[in-house]
Structure 1
Amino acid sequence: MLSRPNRLTRGVEYRAVVRGGRRCGGSHTVTYVAASPGDGTSRFGFIVSKQVGGAVVRNTVRRRLKAVCAEALSDVPSGTDVVIRALPSAATAPYAELRSEVRRCLAKRVPA
């Protein structure tokens, strides 16, 4: 799983990435990637609304997205903030589809 330094925790951080980051959409997720103000580690945040499903479904989707990001952590340049917003179709999407979609979006580099 993602350790504490690799997670976005404050609403201000989420808003900065969503408003100022590069957007990459897919059928199950929307991924926002932005350069972090500091040169720290890569950080990830997840937005899974009630439109995705009940609490159990939302937590399952969030855990699956965290696992995908933990696998891709070494491929993301340090100093990058990533926010992944799950769409309602993510609740029924196979893990392999989520992984390929998120990895495709993370492969696009952060603008300088």
Structure 2
Amino acid sequence: MLSRPNRITRGADYKTVVRRGARCAGAHTVTYVKSSDETRVPRFGFIVSKQVGSAVVRNTVRRRLKAVCSAELTGVRAGSDIVIRALPSAATADYAALHAEVARCLARRAA
């Protein structure tokens, strides 16, 4: 699970990362990465809209994405802000597919 310092909590921060960050698209997610020279821990945010499914499905997808990011945390550059937007196909994707896709994008943009 991601600790409080590793989460993006303000809406303005989400907006900045999505508008100014580097984009990496996959079949189930779109990952936005904005790097800075700050010496803080990397932060993650998740966008899972109602198009993904019911509340139960959205929360399942969000929990899977949080687990993936927690596993990949050590390979992410300090000071990075990452926002992951789940696409509707993420509802039917298994954990391994989500992990592979997010890990690929993080390795390309935030390593």
1:37 to partner: Cα distance: 6.6
TM-score by length of 1: 0.95
Q: Is the 8 A contact 2:32 2:84 kept in 1?
A: yes
SS of corresponding position for 1:15: helix
SS of corresponding position for 2:63: helix
Counterpart Cα distance in 1 of 2:36 and 2:83: 12
Count of residues in correspondence between the two structures = 110
Partner residue, 1:62: 62
Partner residue, 1:89: 89
Unaligned runs of 5+ residues in structure 2 are none
Partner residue, 2:77: 77
Q: In angstroms, what is the RMSD of aligned CA positions?
A: 1.0
SS of corresponding position for 1:108: helix
- Provide runs of 4+ in structure 1 moved above 3 Å: none
Unaligned runs of 5+ residues in structure 1 are none
Amino acid at match of 1:27: A
Counterpart Cα distance in 2 of 1:33 and 1:51: 23
What percentage of residue pairs aligned between the two structures are identical?
69
